[in-house]
Structure 1
Amino acid sequence: MKKDIPFHPVTGVKMAIARSQKDAGADWAVYIINKNLISLQTLMITSKGYGQLEGEKKQTSTLRHLIQELEATSVAKVEIIDPKLFSLTNEFWVSYYIMNQIFDKKFIFVQGSMEESNIRYIPELDLFGVLHV
């Protein structure tokens, strides 16, 4: 049972939503960043958006992603994200293993977090976006 599994605090793992400039505009994507000096194994990432739009309750489909290994001090692109979804809360639940220990963390980009005033340079990506620690 879940209560029998010891969950340790997640450190050194971050999520970011960042844009890369293209000739026809900006492409936005979600990235996972491993700042640890050890690789992460069997990463399972689920993503969904939810909230209110024009007075109506909205929810996106839940997407699931599997990354077999994320090397030490490296980055992986998780998914492309449509900027229209920035008006919703976007939730990313990340589970992974380091050796035989499971780690688990929910990263939540709340409504409004993707406003232009919150966008900063993210050195790990060499892109501009919003970083969630």
Structure 2
Amino acid sequence: MLKDIEPTPPVEDVAVVAVIEDKENKEGLVWSVYLFNMKETPIETVLVSSHGYGIYEGKEVKTSTLRFSLGDIPALTFEKIEAIHEQLFVLNNEYWVTFYENGRLLDKKYTFEPGSICEENTIDLPFIGKKGVLLR
């Protein structure tokens, strides 16, 4: 019955990060999005879907939905999801992450809100040695 269903635990120590890859590009900053596994255990069979949505110049805009299979990500490491263009920063950029941890299926939605990916919001990131915007 309903009382026998265990609640899904919250996802902790997994982050989606927008990282500045190149500041010297003549067309502006080059950004990529990564998944950080800050856990002491691996996460397995990692799947990510991404898309953007919002209002641009008074019109509702949606980007294509992209799906990525990242496989297993060892403890205290990271994996690149995709490159992202600065023109998309005016939209909500959503990443839905699904994975197994200790045999249990977990998922979490991470959303970069419009304007949140910018150089002013960057911090020094663990693992990668670069600056970026981190969502936990």
Alignment TM-score > 0.5, same fold? yes
Task: Say which is worse superposed, 15-24 or 43-52, in terms of deviation.
Answer: 15-24
Q: 1:119 to 1:22 in 2, by over 3 A?
A: closer
SS in 2 for 1:117: helix
Give every structure 1 segment of 4 or more consecutive aligned residues whose post-TM-superposition deviation is greater than 4 Å.
none
Gap regions ≥5 residues in structure 2: none
Write 1 or 2 for the structure with the bigger share of strand: 1
Q: What is the Cα deviation at residue 79 of structure 1? A: 0.5
Distance 1:97 1:80 in 2: 25
SS in 2 for 1:85: helix
Distance 2:117 2:98 in 1: 24
Distance 1:97 1:81 in 2: 26
Question: Does 1:27 pair with 2:53?
Answer: no
Instruction: Map 1:1-133; keep pairs closer than 5 Å.
Output: 6-21=7-22, 23-25=24-26, 26-133=29-136
What amino acid is the match of 1:12? Answer: D
Normalising by the residue count of structure 1, what TM-score does the alignment of the two structures yield? 0.90
What amino acid is the match of 2:52? Answer: G
Q: Deviations over 1:71-120 (max 9, x none)?
A: 01001001111111011000000000012101110001001111332122
| Identical residues among aligned pairs (%) | 35
What do you get for the CA RMSD once the two structures are aligned? 1.6
Larger Rg: 2
Distance 1:91 1:55 in 2: 20
Gap regions ≥5 residues in structure 1: none
SS in 1 for 2:82: strand
Distance 1:36 1:121 in 2: 18
Q: What is the Cα deviation at residue 121 of structure 1? A: 2.0
Q: What is the Cα deviation at residue 123 of structure 1? A: 2.7
Normalising by the residue count of structure 2, what TM-score does the alignment of the two structures yield? 0.88
Count matched residues: 130
